[in-house]
């Protein structure tokens, strides 16, 4: 292991809570967060999987100069339906509109993940897919969910770790943590490739 610092290139409290589940501080690692400032717009014709993996790397690289000897985690997520991408709604009406579109449909949530070693320049990245089958929902049900959860900072307005689970009839994927924004199974493997054993003493 060449570093004692882990930096999460995100201001998301959801991703920080997921990272904390790994108990990296128990291994003597300091975990920090540093919000990147990047352009998150898709490039013309860019596929959703390509977008989230590119942005995950871009986020990690954006904060790397401030952390020259660290392992930096970048992540990005979109929902994909009918070939179009849905990001964070950002507000009440947009959240309702997104969920009205997703109701009764199967939607793919794509989460890009990157682990960048700022000391060596080595990066590992991937895109994790997770499928959500949404129930047929009434306008009243959608409004009640949005009012209670206010999922304005969640892709597709879907907050799976909270009441959002009531919106779905089936979840399919390798790692449910990816729905919340940080694929921990893949992250653990990336950390191990950098010499950090999450289950180590």
**Catalytic choice (34, 37, 39, 76):** 76
Per-residue confidence (pLDDT) for residue 176, from 0 to 100: 92
Q: Above pLDDT 70, what percent of the chain?
A: 99
Could you tell me the end-to-end alpha-carbon distance of the chain, in angstroms, rounded to an integer? 14
Does 76 qualify as catalytic in the annotation?
yes
Per-residue confidence (pLDDT) for residue 109, from 0 to 100: 95
Reported as a single tens digit per residue, the pLDDT across 125-145 is 999 999 999 999 999 999 999
In whole angstroms, give the CA distance from residue 102 to residue 154. Answer: 14
Structural domains of the chain, ranges and CATH numbers in brackets = 5-193 (3.90.950.10)
Place of tokens 């779905």: 168
Per-residue confidence (pLDDT) for residue 40, from 0 to 100: 87
Per DSSP bridges, beta strands 5-8 and 71-81 are parallel
């Amino acid at each position: 292991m060449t570093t004692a610092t882990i930096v999460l290139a995100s201001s998301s409290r959801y991703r920080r809570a997921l990272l904390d589940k790994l108990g990296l501080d128990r291994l003597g690692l300091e975990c920090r967060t540093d919000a990147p400032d990047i352009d998150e717009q898709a490039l013309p014709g860019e596929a959703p999987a390509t977008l989230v993996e590119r942005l995950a790397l871009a986020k990690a690289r954006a904060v790397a100069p401030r952390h020259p000897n660290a392992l930096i985690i970048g992540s990005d997520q979109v929902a994909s339906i009918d070939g179009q991408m849905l990001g964070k709604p950002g507000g009440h009406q947009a959240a309702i509109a997104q969920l009205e579109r997703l109701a009764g449909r199967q939607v793919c949530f794509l989460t890009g993940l990157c682990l960048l070693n700022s000391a060596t320049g080595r990066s590992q990245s991937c895109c994790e897919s997770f499928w959500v089958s949404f129930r047929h929902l009434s306008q009243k049900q959608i409004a009640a969910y949005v009012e209670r959860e206010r999922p304005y900072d969640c892709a597709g307005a879907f907050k799976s770790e909270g009441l959002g689970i009531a919106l779905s009839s089936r979840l399919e994927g390798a790692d449910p943590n990816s729905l919340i924004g940080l694929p921990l199974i893949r992250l653990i493997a990336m950390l191990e490739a950098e010499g950090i054993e999450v289950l180590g003493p």
